[in-house]
Amino acid sequence: MVLLGIESTAHTASVGIVDDTARVLSIASDMYRPVAGGIHPREAANHHVDLLPELVTRALETAKVSPREIEGVAFAQGPGLGPCLRAGATVARTLALLWDRPLVPVNHCVAHVEIARVLSGLDDPILLYASGGNTQVIVYGGGRYRVLGETLDVGIGNFLDKLWIALGGTFPGGPALEAEAKKGTELHPLPYSVHGMDVAFSGMLTATIALSGDGVPRPDLAYSVESTAYGMLVEITERALAHRRRTDVVLGGGVACNERLRSMVREMVEGRGGRSYAPPKSLCVDNGAMIAWAGHLALRAGRSVPVEESAVLPRQRTDLVPTPWRTELPA
């Protein structure tokens, strides 16, 4: 079964095609980059409307499949920015009607988790989902992905992006900050904000900007921020492993591209005798292939919707989405 998936929750417009073994046949993406500051939802949506038709064509060409071979059209139903979600959903509805194929709504967060999980080959890991808008430690149980811990303010990626812009850079901040951090040598203490299973970043944002005003070099700031922020994520992930008696961790989301985060998680997990896995970077950041794969799982479990019931859900939470394709493992 070959599915086409459309991602358009925020900055990225992307179309991906996967087969029923989760082999990625193609990804065609284009990112809206604000001229200055953060995302403007309407402008981002216009970008997606303009780009998605040619991304569909490109994805089909690269995958070398014809529309006749596409067995379902999946789209990100939420969470995300309303205008951006509607742009992707409109294209998905059009294709489903045109090709007479089932329309499959997908939760964006569950898609990050499922593509990482299938590629990992690990059955029941703890999932660390770290992206722009989300920072969650997730475990599966009782028919849902349960959020054990999460950010109490902004997502870690949004924090990195905001910080980088405040330090004179441009969006996206995460990869640039990673390059800068590699040149850092001196660790400066920053607010380490872990509250039980939750984390917060706004104190660190304020403190880092203040240190920058005091003349601390940017590489040292980046190094200190990465060490502190990723240390917080490692702590709550380790607590989840201990309490849920799990051994393995799978990373997902754009921030999971980060080499320091990957190696800090790996060190913690291997120290406990488990395994950790992070997907290739092209599948950590927002992409249509993860939507297609989650759509494949949902369709195989009989979940598709008529156009009239395909409204987007900008605030849809990870733990509200039924996952009928997963079977319960013993606790």
Binding site for ligand ATP (CB under 6 A): 9-11, 80, 108, 112, 131-134, 155, 157-158, 160-161, 172-175, 178, 253-255, 257-258, 285-286
276 binds, among ligand ATP, Fe ion, none (CB under 5 to 8 A by kind): none
State which of positions 195-254 bind Fe ion (CB under 5 A): none
Task: Among 14, 131, 237, 287, indicate the residue that binds Fe ion (CB under 5 A).
Answer: 131
Give whichever of 120 and 258 is closer to ligand ATP, judged by the CB atom: 258
Contact window for Fe ion (CB under 5 A) among 21-29, 192-200, 278-286, 322-330: 278-286
Kindly tell me which of 84 and 177 has the beta carbon lying closer to Fe ion: 84
Contacts made by residues 89-95, CB under 8 angstroms, sequence distance 24+: 89/6, 89/8, 89/310, 89/311, 89/312, 90/49, 91/6, 91/8, 91/52, 91/53, 91/56, 92/6, 92/310, 93/307, 93/310, 95/4, 95/56, 95/67, 95/70
Alpha-carbon gap, residue 97 to 110, rounded angstroms: 25
Exposure pattern of 55-88 as b/e (b: 16+ CB <10 Å)?
Answer: bbebbbeebebeeeebbbbbbbbbbbbebbbbbb
CA angle 138, 267, 145 (to 5 degrees): 10
172 makes contact, choosing from Fe ion, ligand ATP, none, with CB < 5 to 8 Å by partner type, with: ligand ATP
Taking the complex as a whole, the smallest distance from the CB of residue 282 to ligand ATP amounts, in Å, to: 10
Nearer of residues 102 and 157 to ligand ATP, judged by Cβ: 157
| The only residue of 286, 290, 295, 310 in contact with Fe ion, by rule CB under 5 A | 286
Smallest gap from Cβ 136 to ligand ATP, in A, equals 10
Residue 123 Cα distances to 126, 246, 275, angstroms = 10, 11, 12
Residue type, 133: G
Choose among Fe ion, ligand ATP, none what residue 8 binds, the Cβ cut-off being 5 to 8 Å by kind. Answer: none
Instruction: Provide the H-helix boundaries in the chain.
Output: 41-63, 82-99, 108-120, 156-166, 173-181, 202-213, 218-244, 259-271, 281-284, 288-300
CB of 205 to Fe ion, least distance (A): 21
Q: Distance between CA 303 and CA 40 in Å, rounded?
A: 33
Nearest approach, Cβ of residue 268 and ligand ATP (Å):
18
CB-wise, 96 or 109, nearer to ligand ATP? Answer: 109
Name which of ligand ATP, Fe ion, none residue 157 binds, using a CB cut-off of 5 to 8 Å depending on partner kind: ligand ATP
Closest approach, Cβ 131 to Fe ion, in A, equals 4
**Is the Cβ of residue 31 or residue 65 nearer to Fe ion in the bound state?**
31
For residues 264 and 269, give the distance between their C-alpha atoms in angstroms, rounded to a whole number.
9
Kindly tell me which of 168 and 330 has the beta carbon lying closer to ligand ATP.
168
Smallest CA-to-CA distance from 244 within 152, 109, 145 is with: 145
Q: Which stretch binds Fe ion (CB under 5 A): 240-248, 255-263, 284-292, 306-314?
A: 284-292
Measured from the CB atom, the residue of 96 and 298 that comes closer to ligand ATP is 298
Smaller CB distance to Fe ion: residue 72 or 254? Answer: 254
- Name the residues that contact Fe ion, by CB under 5 A: 131, 286
